Chains A and B, each alone.
Chain A
Amino acid sequence: MRILIKNGFVLDPENNRADFLDIYIEEGIIVEIGKELDYTGGEIEIIDAQGKIVAPGLIDMHCHLRDPGFEYKEDIESGTRSAAVGGFTSIACMPNTNPPIDNEPIIEYIRTKSKSVGVVNVYPVGAITKGLKGEELAEIGELKFAGAVAISDDGNPVMNPSLMRRALQYANMFDIPVISHCEDKELVDGGVMNEGYMSTYLGLKGITRAAEEVMVARDVILAGETGASLHIAHVSTAGSVEIIRQAKAKGVRVTCETCPHYFTLTEKAVEGYNTFAKMNPPLRTEEDVEAIKEGLRDGTIDVIATDHAPHHIDEKNVEFDKALNGIVGFETALALGITYLVDAGVLTMGQLIEKMCVNPAKILGLNKGSLGINKPADIIVIDPKEEFTVDINKFQSRSKNSPYHGYKLKGTVHYTIVGGKVVVMQKILL
């Protein structure tokens, strides 16, 4: 299989490429990148990327594939197809499956299944604690050697600070990053949305920002003390950004991510008891959105992840208190980044690619995120100017829980190439 991508604007921040270049791929490997490459012959697919950006495939370091255990919401097949149309070529799936990813056989299951039915690369994230219960450490060494790229109890915080400290110490020995879902359950105390005027207005129990910030502060202190590599998941408040900024300045090995909903939506989206705007952490306020953007701009926030969290409509079409947390994210993330960050002048297109591709690859230690010679051809061709209207009914994901239905966004994915295989062609999933 030979592919020649011609006439596109190649954006490859890791190699400082930002130029009109052609890319030649053979047997799934990038063979040559240069000006006006001339490869002809019978068995070659020519992709005309005129007017488009050619970039390394996006990498999502935080998603939920729900497989095994909750296949009615999503499975590895539907989830990876959803990722592919969103421009993701590699994704890291969180361990809150049933059974959870806290042992080698489950990692094997995910790796095997994703190789057979998945259309993008899938990297499992292992559990920090057995059964995600926050009581005893999982077999972190075995998880790492089985293929886990990070460990996390995502969805459940490790409430016991001593256990979290041990997890950081132990994980550091195996050089595996710890992804922390920062949420003090005692401070959450049954809250279902951000605490503020909207929670008062709607009569819903609020969640103080302190529930997130207290844990962020705790974990950066523990990371500083243990020297371990800590990654803070889904940062949503101005206070968290500031704590991480200070920790980075002190040299703590901390990185962090935010998600598109935290720089595009506020608690106002909950009005009318909109369960598609219910997530954890909850949507905050304008002030937080601005701080998140500033954190993205100044580099405090390294990564934009989706926290793709599919749920069945029956789990959302209920009383707000009962509705499950989370939204699907693969198929809107890039366009939200382009529309709300690049077009708004917060980030350059290159910086967006860094946060959605280069940085997650580095944090997870993947040999990806750039367009290098002899590297696997994980490439996307996108049109950053093309507008479209989000239609949840057209999602490839099995679940449709997105608050962006009807939004007019900019930025479409025309090609997704995974390991030299064309998965999305002219915006159509093959």
Chain B
Amino acid sequence: MINRKDLLGLKELSAEEINYILKTAETMKYVLLQKNKKTPHLQGKAVITLFYENSTRTRLSFELAAKYMSASAANISASTSSVLKGETLIDTGKTIDMMGTDILIIRHPMSGAPHLLAKNVNASVINAGDGMNEHPTQALLDMLTIKEKKGKIEGLKVAIIGDIAHSRVAHSNIWGLTKLGAEVSIAGPSTLIPKDIEKTGAKVFNSVQEALLDADVVMGLRIQLERQKKGLFPTIREYARFFGIDDKRLLLAKKDAILLHPGPVNRGVELSSEVIDGGISLINEQVTNGVAVRMAILYLFSRRGAHYENID
């Protein structure tokens, strides 16, 4: 079912591919919840993370996923590597590639960097977040979480609130969720809504209240505080007042709505603390599902070149 070398984004994937990854992730979650988490799926495979941006959860999540499945795993941070000596992305990638790397996981502040890397290395490239473009594994773990709780994705109303323009999490979710038949509503400061986003199939609302109305799933996004300095919104205070999600606003969503956030959260800004720690928040569940999704991704993409139909 997965015949591609690289996972660069959800906009390139078909609904079938996404569903296949989610199905595999469900199996991986079962493995993850066992007392002994070691599996041999990636024995003899080398998995490298190459991060040009800081990260706690995504990197650790990939690293644990690789280790649970018996891969040889190593991490490279741009801040402590030859990148500081001015090495180009392609040169760094080729060096890692030539050491026998099977899967190269990259996070980069510039959109399209994983695509450039993918064209220049033999290893499978997994995008762990590129600029404002995509963060496919985050969206997949969000979708896994939704599917677990709601039993489906098709027909659900998902409200994504906040800085849509700069959020690769939002972008990947919009691509993935619309492909699986969800109705995506977005709202945020008009200065943070990307141009022509409606063409993706997402609906843009002027107020958070309208977007939240009858939502099955509410997704908050991290607001980068430096956006305020760039004049994209007046103050954190005003942001929280008009775009923050609190208990009162959540009443507009369906009674059984669930709440997601990719983390790390600015408490009291995009989400109130009551909401974060409240009953409908699945923020912690998302973290666990992140490992399951990444196990599935590593497993599926490490089998490149095989005839997958014959394996299952």
Contacts and interface: CB of A to CB of B under 8 A. Distances in A.
Interface of A: 195-197, 199-206, 272-273, 314, 317-322
A358 B307 CA distance: 63
Contacts of A203: 111-112, 130-134, 168, 171
A199 B195 contact: yes
B110 A322 contact: yes
Contact of A319 (B113, B132, B168, B171): B113
Interface string B190-223: 0000111101100000000000000000000000
Contact of A320 (B110, B195, B196): B110
Given A204-B132, A273-B111, A319 B195 contact: no
B227 interface: no
B115 A200 contact: no
Interface string B103-137: 00000101111011000000000000011111000
A197 B199 contact: yes
B11 interface: yes
Contacts of B194: 199-200, 206
Interface of B: 11, 88-90, 108, 110-113, 115-116, 130-134, 168, 171, 194-197, 199-200
A318 B116 contact: yes
A201 to B, nearest CB: 7
- Chain A binding site: helix, strand, loop or mixed by DSSP? loop
Nearest to B90: A317
B201 to A, nearest CB: 12
Contacts of B134: 203
Given A201-B11, A204-B111, A196 B196 contact: yes
Contacts of B132: 203-205
Contacts of B200: 200-201
The 5 closest A-B pairs by CB, nearest first: A203-B133, A273-B112, A197-B196, A203-B111, A200-B194
B110 A200 contact: no
Given A206-B195, A314-B88, 12 more contacts: A195-B195, A197-B196, A199-B194, A200-B194, A200-B200, A201-B11, A202-B133, A203-B111, A203-B168, A204-B133, A317-B90, A319-B110
Residue in B89, B111, B134 with the greatest tally of chain A CB atoms within 10 Å: B111
A314 B116 CA distance: 13
Residue in A203, A314, A317, A320 with the greatest tally of chain B CB atoms within 10 Å: A203
B175 to A, nearest CB: 9
B110 A202 contact: no
A272 B108 CA distance: 16
Nearest to A274: B112
A201 B168 CA distance: 11
A322 B111 CA distance: 11
Contacts of A195: 195
A195 B191 CA distance: 13
A78 to B, nearest CB: 25
